[in-house]
Amino acid sequence: MIAAVKQKFGRIDILVNNAAITIDKAFKNSTKQEWDQIMSVDLDSLFNTVHPTVQIMLEQASGCIVNVASASGETGFFGQVSYSAAKAGVIGFTKALAKEVSGKGIRVNAVSPGIVGGTQISDKIPEEYKKKFAEAIPLKRFGTPEEIAKAVLFLASDDSSYITGQVLRVNGGLVI
């Protein structure tokens, strides 16, 4: 995939990593197979896309990588031990890689969404709990996919040219 994009366009300027799954259940009821599945999608995919892309960006001496983390990776949520661990890994990956490549013209940042409505994750929340979750958010509502997309766009644009190694929290005040 990376080689095909490079061949077609001659360069890669932006990479956004947004692949993720979660299997919500108490850790005591989780299996190693579920753990491996979450780590494969949420972390291995990060390595598999960033590693070849960063080689191209290093040759270009420019580029921008935006990884999508989660408020769960910053604070941990009940029933999401594996997902929280994976998303905390995305945050550590982002900060460490930024230290390695920012001096070579590559910016690396993360967006950390809170609860976003209309997603595979929020759609699993039973209706009776959605109102309770919304009440726990200082802005009293779930975010929208468009709000997260705008944060990613900002970090991928030249408007954020002096930002690297940061986690932009887009969570309605849920995690501060």
Catalytic residue among 15, 66, 74, 83: 83
Contact 26, 76 (CB under 8 A): no
| Rounded-to-integer distance, Cα 133 and Cα 142, Å | 8
Instruction: Copy the structure tokens of residue 115.
Output: 């609860």
Q: Which of 89, 19, 20, 15 is nearest to 55 (CA)?
A: 15
Q: Is 129 a catalytic residue?
A: no
| Rounded-to-integer distance, Cα 27 and Cα 106, Å | 37
| Rounded-to-integer distance, Cα 100 and Cα 134, Å | 38
Strand 14-17 and strand 167-170: pairing? unpaired
Active-site positions read 83
